[in-house]
Amino acid sequence: MSSSVCLPEEDLSCPVCCDIFRDPVLLPCSHSFCKTCLQCYWNTSAPRQCPVCRRRASKRTPPSNLALKNLCEALQQSRIQSSVEGNRVLCSLHGERLRFFCLVDKQPVCVVCQASKIHKNHDCVPTEKAAQDCKDELNVALKTLQHTLDSLIRLKGTSEEMLESIKNQSLETERQIKDLFVELHQFLYEEEAARLAALKEEEEEKIGLMKSMVTKAAAGMLYLKETITVITQEITDADDMALLQNCKATIERAQCTGQGPERISGALIDVAKHLCNLKYRVWKKMILHVEYSPVTLDPNTAHPCLFLSHELTSLQYTSQPHRLPDNPERFHMSAEVLGMTGLCSGSHCWVVDTGCNNDWILGVACTSVTRNAEVQARPENGFWTMCLRDREYRAMTSPPTAMTVTEKLKRVRVQLDWDKGQVSFFDPADDDTPLYSFSHKFTEKVFPYFYTQSKHPLRILPERMCVTVQQSGTGHPCTVPD
E strand map for 181-326 = 306-308, 314-317
E strand map for 35-162 = 84-85, 88-89, 100-102, 107-109, 124-126
The structural domains of the chain, with segments of one domain joined by +, span 1-82, 130-275, 299-460
Distances, alpha carbon 470 to alpha carbons 139, 454, 475, 477, 481, in Å: 76, 47, 5, 4, 14
Question: What is the edge-to-edge ordering of all strands in the sheet holding 458-460?
Answer: 306-308, 314-317, 458-460, 347-353, 411-417, 422-427, 433-439
d(CA 24, CA 12): 10
Q: Which CATH superfamily is domain 299-460 in?
A: SPRY domain (2.60.120.920)
Any long-range contacts for 461-466 (C-beta under 8 Å, 24+ apart)? 461/350, 461/351, 461/352, 461/353, 461/411, 462/291, 462/292, 462/293, 462/313, 463/292, 463/293, 463/294, 465/287, 465/290, 465/292
Residue 399 DSSP symbol: S
For the residues of 127-183, what is the DSSP string, one character each? HHHHHHHHHHHHHHHHHHHHHHHHHHHHHHHHHHHHHHHHHHHHHHHHHHHHHHHHH
Decide: pTM greater than 0.95.
no
The predicted pLDDT at position 207 comes to 93
The predicted pLDDT at position 371 comes to 93
The predicted pLDDT at position 478 comes to 57
Chain centroid, CA 34 distance in Å: 67
Residue 3's contacts (CB-CB under 8 Å, 6 or more residues apart) are none
Half-sphere exposure of residue 333: CA atoms within 13 angstroms, side-chain side: 9
Q: Which of 140, 47, 121, 124 is nearest to 111 (CA)?
A: 124
The predicted pLDDT at position 299 comes to 95
The predicted pLDDT at position 420 comes to 95
Question: What is the edge-to-edge ordering of all strands in the sheet holding 360-366?
Answer: 336-338, 446-452, 360-366, 383-389, 392-395, 401-402
State the first-to-last Cα distance of the chain, in angstroms, to the nearest integer.
Answer: 114
Residue 245 DSSP symbol: H
Query: Which residues in the chain show pLDDT less than 70?
Result: 1-9, 79-88, 257-262, 472-482
d(CA 133, CA 251): 144
Residue 422 DSSP symbol: E
**Which secondary structure element, helix H or strand E, spans residue 215, and what is its range?**
helix 127-236
> What pLDDT digit, counting tens, does each position of 229-279 carry?
888 888 888 777 777 777 888 787 777 765 556 677 888 999 999 999 999
> What pLDDT digit, counting tens, does each position of 118-174 carry?
787 888 888 888 888 888 889 999 999 999 999 999 889 888 888 988 999 999 999
Q: Tell me if 1-82 shares its fold with 299-460.
A: no
The predicted pLDDT at position 117 comes to 76
Question: Three-state DSSP class for 316?
Answer: strand
d(CA 100, CA 123): 10
Any long-range contacts for 54-59 (C-beta under 8 Å, 24+ apart)? 55/27, 55/28, 55/29, 57/27, 57/28, 57/29, 58/28
Reply yes or no on domain 1-82 having CATH 3.30.40.10. yes
E strand map for 249-389 = 306-308, 314-317, 336-338, 347-353, 360-366, 383-389
